[in-house]
Amino acid sequence: MAGGFPKRSSRSARPDALSGRVPRLDSSPAQLALAPDERLELYAGAFLLRGFALPDEARLRADVAVVSAAAPFRHMQTPGGFRMSVAMTNCGSLGWVSDPGGYRYSELDPDTGRSWPALPHAFASLALRAAAAAGFLEFEPDACLVNRYEPGARLTLHQDKDERDFAQPIVSVSLGVPAVFLFGGLKRKERPLRLMLMHGDVVVFGGPSRLRYHGVAPLKPAQHPFAGQHRINLTLRRAS
Ligand code: SIN
Ligand code: FE2
């Protein structure tokens, strides 16, 4: 089983509830010292699996190309009518869409009128292994949102709550240019952790962390062999 954790080491980086102090994980020595293949518990039910996807990168890259050839990346509109800076596509039996009518999951790609491309085996396999490494043994993803960030693109704080079953976790795979992930609380106003996510990192959030607010800070210009100036993020979910 590639990408597993023989040692199952785990560290805690929870904000200190009494003082309200929030560690800045993008700059803290603890984070920089985190070895590849180490598992960091960010909050109860929320884990950073550093480098977990690295063994799968060639397959993931080929599959992102297959998916985006069948369902091209596009800038969706928010319900308020704004163009999202992140370009998106989907694979799996359901795909997340946003337009002036709202957010929802759809069986059809509104741009092509066809079903979304199938969930690649490599995506599902990685997601199952990552979920299991975080203690979620019964993850059954049926949808994957693929996000593509260009320099300056960002995702404002939001909750993933369009899915039916919050007992299933979210598995988020970061590829390409690094980005600062904002990982907040169950209320929007709670100050988020700032966590630098690198190529190959996987974040799993479920259980008591399933509805935490999260987002991505504006992408800094950089180059990475995986996808040039872009950051690609896969979020695997159980939508139905
Ligand atoms: C998302 O919340 O859909 C994506 C988060 C990310 O790009 O890291
Ligand atoms: Fe999200």
Residue range 126-178, pLDDT digits in tens: 999 999 999 999 999 999 999 999 999 999 999 999 999 999 999 999 999 99
For residue 132, give the CATH number of its domain. Answer: 2.60.120.590
> Of all protein residues, whose CA lies closest to atom 7 belonging to ligand 1?
233
Q: Is the pLDDT score of 89 beyond 50?
A: yes
CA of 84 to the centre of ligand 2 (A): 14
Q: Which two tokens stand for residue 39?
A: 């598992």
User: Does residue 120 fall inside a structural domain?
Assistant: yes
User: Does residue 1 fall inside a structural domain?
Assistant: no
Structural domain count, the chain: 1
User: Does residue 179 fall inside a structural domain?
Assistant: yes
> Relative to the CA of 197, which ligand 1 atom is closest?
8
Q: Is the pLDDT score of 4 beyond 70?
A: no
- Of the listed ligands, the closest to the CA of 235 is 1
* Ligand 1 shell residues, CB under 6 Å: 145, 147, 155, 172, 181, 214, 216, 233, 235
Q: Is the pLDDT score of 100 beyond 70?
A: yes
Q: Is the pLDDT score of 15 beyond 50?
A: no
User: Does residue 7 fall inside a structural domain?
Assistant: no
Burial track 59-87 (b if 16+ CB lie within 10 A, e otherwise):
bbbebbeebbebbebbebeeeeeeebbbb
CA of 122 to the centre of ligand 2 (A): 21
User: Does residue 8 fall inside a structural domain?
Assistant: no
Q: Which two tokens stand for residue 126?
A: 């990685």
SS3 label, residue 240:
coil
Give the per-residue pLDDT at 207: 97
Give the per-residue pLDDT at 174: 98
- Of the listed ligands, the closest to the CA of 197 is 1
User: Does residue 172 fall inside a structural domain?
Assistant: yes
Q: Is the pLDDT score of 17 beyond 90?
A: no
Q: Is the pLDDT score of 3 beyond 60?
A: no
Q: Is the pLDDT score of 182 beyond 50?
A: yes
What is the rounded CA–CA span in Å between residue 115 and residue 93?
A: 7
The residue whose CB lies within 8 Å of the most ligand 1 atoms, and thus the one to mutate among 105, 155, 198, 236, is 155
Residue 64: closest CA among 228, 239, 212? 228
Question: Can you give the residue range of the structural domain that contains 186?
Answer: 23-237
Give the per-residue pLDDT at 38: 84
Asked if 74 contacts 52 with a C-beta cutoff of 8 angstroms, the reply is no
Instruction: Please enumerate in sequence order all residues whose Cβ is within 8 A of that of 201, keeping only pairs 6 or more positions apart, or say none.
Output: 48, 49, 50, 51, 52, 53, 173, 174
CA of 79 to the centre of ligand 2 (A): 16
Look over the chain and give the mean of its residue pLDDT values, rounded to a whole number. Answer: 89
Give per-residue pLDDT as tens, 20-79: 344 445 544 445 455 666 899 999 999 999 999 999 999 999 999 999 999 999 999 999
User: Does residue 9 fall inside a structural domain?
Assistant: no
Give the per-residue pLDDT at 107: 98
CA of 43 to the centre of ligand 2 (A): 16
Give the per-residue pLDDT at 2: 41
Q: Is the pLDDT score of 8 beyond 80?
A: no
> Of all protein residues, whose CA lies closest to atom 3 belonging to ligand 1?
235
User: Does residue 152 fall inside a structural domain?
Assistant: yes
What pTM was estimated for this model as a whole?
0.88
Give the mean pLDDT of 202-209: 98
